[in-house]
Structure 1
């Protein structure tokens, strides 16, 4: 499969949110792992998270609350995304947080790796030193992808979430961009 990875334009947010709502239909359903800390029966992408994307895209890099999003397109359709955003702590401006997703029709195609590489290259170019992420412990496919991309586990919080009667752990992983430069091509 051939994909074009490029930054999301603010005027494309409505299409992006439609993609995210469709993506969330797979959250913990039909054999897929729970990849978002929300109920399997949730009605879609929460408005407060949508607002975070909207306001973050408007913020300049370096401002508190900045966010950058890249989408992977195939024949004009969004097949995956990755976003980087500022950490909430002002003293952690040398780091950022990563979030991502790949559409069900594009999984296991190498797209996840390509998205991580694109975001890591951009972060390195901006002078960021670390990319951090949080992933549900039971999401083994995502954890394996992140390990292949050079992320290392830095912590875990047991029983952080209780979703649909289930106790779930959150795993923290980080990529040091200077250390990961050879592996990630940055």
Structure 2
């Protein structure tokens, strides 16, 4: 992949089907705490709007997304954004798409006036944790055994990074 081949742009309503297909294809207990959404399930609703998603496209095809939102509706928390979803097509993993999406989410959050960005990642998801660490996120806490996934208790890891400087 050449850097100029990858396009990252905000999602539009007409992207919903490609986004939903990618979300189902990328689903795994490694990264998800709920069962795989059934065929025909959309991505957008009143709480999940196109404007919250950035898409990665190669050759006009959606190959990744990141969702970045305010973590709460509170004024006292307005300076923080949270990544609440990241997926990359298995055909392009390891080619920098995830990192480009995370950095684009950080840039977008900074552009909205955020000073900090956070996320939660499952403790057993080593590839995602490495990606976030490479993007400057640090582990800030853990909720031990927060999820029971396939008979195993899995930690919920809280990570964050400053958007200043």
Give the TM interval when normalised to the shorter protein.
0.7 to 0.9
Structure (1 or 2) with the greater helix fraction: 1
Partner of 2:77: 92
Query: Could you tell me how far apart the structure 1 residues matched to 2:142 and 2:40 are?
Result: 28
Deviates more, 1:137-146 or 1:42-51: 42-51
Query: Could you tell me how far apart the structure 2 residues matched to 1:154 and 1:168 are?
Result: 17
Query: Could you tell me how far apart the structure 1 residues matched to 2:86 and 2:104 are?
Result: 12
Q: Is the 8 A contact 1:17 1:45 kept in 2?
A: no
Partner of 1:75: 59
TM-score, normalised with respect to structure 1: 0.78
Partner of 2:90: 104
Q: Structure 1 pair 154/23, CA: closer, same or farther in 2 (3 Å)?
A: same
Query: Could you tell me how far apart the structure 1 residues matched to 2:87 and 2:147 are?
Result: 20
Superposition RMSD on alpha carbons, in Å?
2.2
Query: Could you tell me how far apart the structure 2 residues matched to 1:46 and 1:157 are?
Result: 32
Gaps of 5+ in 1: 29-33, 59-66, 182-186
Deviations 1:40-88 (A, max 9, x none): xx34269999355x54427xxxxxxxx5211111122111111101212
- Match 1:137 to one of 105, 123, 126: 123
Q: Is the 8 A contact 2:110 2:163 kept in 1?
A: yes
Could you tell me how far 1:164 is from its partner in structure 2?
1.4
TM-score, normalised with respect to structure 2: 0.87
